[in-house]
Amino acid sequence: MVDVSSKASTERIAIAKAKVLLLPATLEKIQQRTIAKGDVLAVAQVAGVMGAKKTPDLIPMCHPMLLTSVDISFQEDPQLDHTGYCSITITATVKTTGQTGVEMEALTAASVSALTIYDMCKSVDRGMSFTDVYLLSKSGGKSGTYERKH
């Protein structure tokens, strides 16, 4: 791991996104809460928080961090894309005050939320996929602010 002991503790915020592509019927079942495994988005939200907290256990060179906030939100889009799928966009926002950033925690949170949606819905839609996992923004630390340009 990189030695961060000489870095100043600052507020650090990272926001990551992921998109789950699924059939319209699957989105409808999620919205109606009729998926057999339960409330998909509630479980995916908890899973994302847990993923953020477990990041240093999963990514070998990540520092263990005291996270001060993890927020997972979902934007459902019933509009079909060119392949006939609709989507759920996951936004993971992670905060801390520390000597290193929380980009990996935000990316892990978004990814674990997407994996959870897949796991809970695979019995009705094996063709789901997730894509567009990326860091939207980060702030704090010596390198300052980063904003993704689309």
Show which residues are catalytic. Answer: 119
Give which of 74, 94, 97 is closest to 86, Cα–Cα. Answer: 74
DSSP assignment of 28-76 equals HHHHHT--TT--HHHHHHHHHHHHHHHHHHHSTTPPP--EEEEEEEEEE
The C-alpha atoms of residue 58 and residue 63 are separated, in whole angstroms, by 11
**Look-up of token digits 């602010």:** 145
**Look-up of token digits 């997407």:** 114
Q: Residue 40: how many CB atoms within 10 A of its CB?
A: 25
Q: Roughly how many angstroms between the first and final C-alpha of the chain, as a whole number?
A: 31
